[in-house]
Structure 1
Amino acid sequence: MHIPIPAFLRNAMDHSASINGEPFDPAQVPMLPPKGRYTTVHYGIMIPNLPEPFRFLNMITVLGQPEIKMWRNDHLIKTTARDTANLLVGTGVATPDHFAGYSIEKDCEIRPDASLLRFGEDLTIAGTYPNFTAKRSNKPFSYDLTLRATDKIAHFADLIGGLYDHWALLCEYEGVIEFQQQKIPVKGLCTFEYARGVDVNLPFRFFTYQILNIDEKTQVLFVDLLGPANSILQRRAYIRSLDDHGAIYDRHISFDVQKLDDEIKVTPEGVRMKMPKRFSWLVKDDAGQEVITIDGVANGDFCYGMAAGYAGSYQYTGRFKGKNIQGTGYIEYMDHR
């Protein structure tokens, strides 16, 4: 049983609902590396709906290990938590080197304005809004991508007192993936994400985040975040497109897992969890009319390293605003209950 937190209390703790729908303003929204009270920063690029066998691609970076247990990788710390970064480069053809830890001081190059983020020899993200590049070279799975960010932003969190901010920009990407001596051109929609937090342990227990590219212009983001006693900290769907800031739905939403995988995954921190095998979610508008219905079947390609959880892909069928849809979705999932 999931326990909803009253809207007035959620909005008092998290101001993100009041700032969504406004165009992105780089002068007002931070994108800087860890500094001062912000000991942990996350940069991420997530791409769903890639062709087989890739299905998805994510670049999930965390600079400075957070106090939040669901995000933390203690086993990577060799110096200090603040000096420890980690990187997941996940895709459907996961390679043994898809997850790694680094000393920020010794192994990384992080410019103060975040115009260059280099993690060892494994990933370089460069540029300033709205143009970015992401490169991974001389690996079994490599790529060279160019991103153009729009001004369509989804604010996931803007916690009281500046404890935690998290947002995602809708982007167009284009480039080349290289695998097994083949170069595959790719293009489409993705997200560029940023989060920053102070050194506090927020009580998160369950999290799933999913991305669907409905068509060449439209993207849907789905978030389900639970706290102690299955309290619903956030359950939202964000719908946006290249030419529309879209809408946010948070009142009539359900997420159900019909079947879990038989395998129990054990994280490097010793947390045991099962991944979803079949699941569904439904979003209705305030009038009770269906906006989107999704039935998903996981592809079995979950990779560890989405903070202290997993990321992968799934095949979905469903309806979006009355039209039948299908494709390959991106999913992040962790269950610390």
Structure 2
Amino acid sequence: MISEQVTALARQAIKKRIFPGCVVGLLDNSRQDVCAFGTPTYQSDKPISECSIYDVASLTKTVVTATLMHLLIDEGRCSLLEPVCTYIPEYAQNGKGGVLIEHLMSYTVQLASPYIDDWQGDTTLWKFPELLEIYYGASLKAAPGETYLYTDATAMLLGELIRRIAGADLDTLAERRIFLPLGMRDSTLDPALLDKDRIVPSGYRPNGTLLWGIPNDEKADVAYASGIQSGLAGLFSTVPDILSWVEMVFNGGRIDGGTFLSARAIELMTHDYYPGKPFRSALAWGDGPTHQALDGAVCGSILAKGGFTGCFMVGSLTARKAIVLLSNRVYPERPANLEPWQEFRRSIVQCVFGKNSHCR
């Protein structure tokens, strides 16, 4: 299933040092194919495995955080039209009493705070609960639901919402409610539980410390150090595990003949929630930036989510086809020029789907 063209693109990317290695997985109806390329680091001679474990960064927002929210909504423990402050009373400060759960799920909340937009603060100055307090006290920059803003703050608030409603942290909930039912044996929000030799390093801190088995995200790392899961990043996983999650979506929320998520949840996750608005946001994917970055490589019935460490998944429910690619493009450091990575992503997605093949 993985074509010679896809193989050639992966190998060219390694040669161009876009990343030292990657794992590519394709899902075509019920058929899966997974191939590994390159090495974990430029210094290593150990080959990447098809089951190598990557820090998948913002894929956490979809696979874990949004999935848990949809499960809670399915169970009637909350609803999209309830105010967030029903469960987080502190959030009602400064005129945010009208912010609904649907606004967090669709990333249509804009908060006025230097720790929200163009964030350049130093998280070492804060503990994770203090960061949340900043968001609780912030005012709104725009009416909820009117403008789209893909921001970590929204995912962090969703994580806290889940904790308050479910009475447990995200790592415990994800293991019990997502990973075990879907057979995602190599996925966790607590990488200390994993075989470290299988984890691919994702870069270095400014002080020279190797990021290996800890989240490569300042806010997520501050949360992890506090014993809390952020909701925005921190998932460590493999291509086969992510494909299992995508296959559940393609199967309408059903696994092994039973229901994992409702048909309504799958529809909310896979369709634009505010049709007619000048942005695109399904209730899970927060897919606007990734969709735009594909720049016509595929369009129409498309699901798209990326993670800054060098991971993405793109799928079409119409074609029942998806690609998942995990890499560590931020090793040894975050590149200043994103275009080589973006061009590679556009090209490999185009190889899988065919340019404009789903434009109808």
TM-score of the superposed pair, with normalisation by structure 1: 0.27
Identify, as 1 or 2, the structure richer in helix: 2
Identify, as 1 or 2, the structure richer in strand: 1
TM-score of the superposed pair, with normalisation by structure 2: 0.26
